[in-house]
């Protein structure tokens, strides 16, 4: 599956027009938990109306409508004219994923920028946890082949910052190499979510 949110993507994403390269302006536009959830829903499930998204996310249609318009103002979503009829307004995601440099935002002199990237990162972490918990609660509903094919592991390595970055880039490249190998609608296939968390731990 294409990335939903990300940081410090490797070179394979650098020139992909389907990936949104976030700057300080668009970061401020994205830094709201509901906007991130709305964008994720449009990317994962396809075009929808504000009321449809409200039902899916358990929010009011007034709230989803307002935040969709804000996302549109910052270039994350746009009208889907092929579906909109009459007063019914359909929205679709403009890109399949985001990329941004976390370190440059965390070191930014503007406290608002630093706060905005914190909101985005914490919402990403929350979403990852929710997705994993949903799988754990529903995996009994999936065929045996998928119950054997999932993975939940963690590893402890001693690395330098340079080696940590190298490992992350290689893992991104490996995942990227599997994209587009299975056409949509292939029998027995499913959208697979892959999370990568890599961070240092104190030794004391």
Q: What is the pLDDT of residues 2-19, one digit of tens each?
A: 344 444 444 455 567 688
45-67 pLDDT tens trace: 999 999 999 999 999 999 999 99
Check: CB of residue 50 under 8 Å from CB of residue 68: yes
pTM greater than 0.85 = no
CATH number listed for the domain at residues 11-149:
1.10.10.10
132 Cβ contact partners less than 8 Å away, ≥ 6 residues apart = 152, 195
Domain spans, the chain: 11-149
pLDDT in tens, 26-42: 999 999 999 999 999 99
pLDDT at residue 86, as a whole number = 66
Q: What is the mean pLDDT of each run of 10 residues along the chain (204 residues)?
A: 42 66 93 96 94 96 96 95 78 91 89 94 94 96 96 95 95 92 94 94 85
């Amino acid at each position: 599956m294409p990335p939903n949110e990300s940081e410090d993507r490797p070179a394979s994403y650098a020139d992909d027009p389907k990936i949104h390269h976030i700057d300080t302006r668009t970061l401020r536009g994205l830094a709201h938990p509901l906007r991130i959830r709305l964008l994720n829903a449009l990317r994962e499930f396809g075009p929808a109306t504000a009321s449809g998204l409200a039902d899916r996310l358990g929010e009011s249609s007034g709230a989803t409508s307002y935040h969709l318009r804000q996302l549109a103002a910052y270039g994350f979503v746009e009208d889907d004219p092929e579906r909109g009829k009459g007063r019914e307004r359909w929205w679709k995601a403009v890109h399949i994923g985001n990329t941004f440099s976390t370190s440059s935002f965390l070191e930014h002199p503007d406290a608002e920028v630093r706060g905005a990237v914190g909101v985005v990162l914490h919402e990403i972490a929350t979403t990852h946890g929710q997705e994993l918990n949903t799988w754990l609660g529903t995996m009994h509903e999936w065929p045996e082949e998928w119950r054997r094919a999932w993975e939940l592991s963690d590893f402890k390595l001693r690395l330098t910052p340079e080696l940590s970055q190298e490992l992350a880039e290689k893992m991104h490249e490996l995942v990227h190499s599997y994209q587009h190998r299975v056409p949509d609608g292939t029998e027995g296939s499913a959208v697979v979510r892959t999370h990568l968390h890599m961070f240092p731990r104190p030794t004391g």
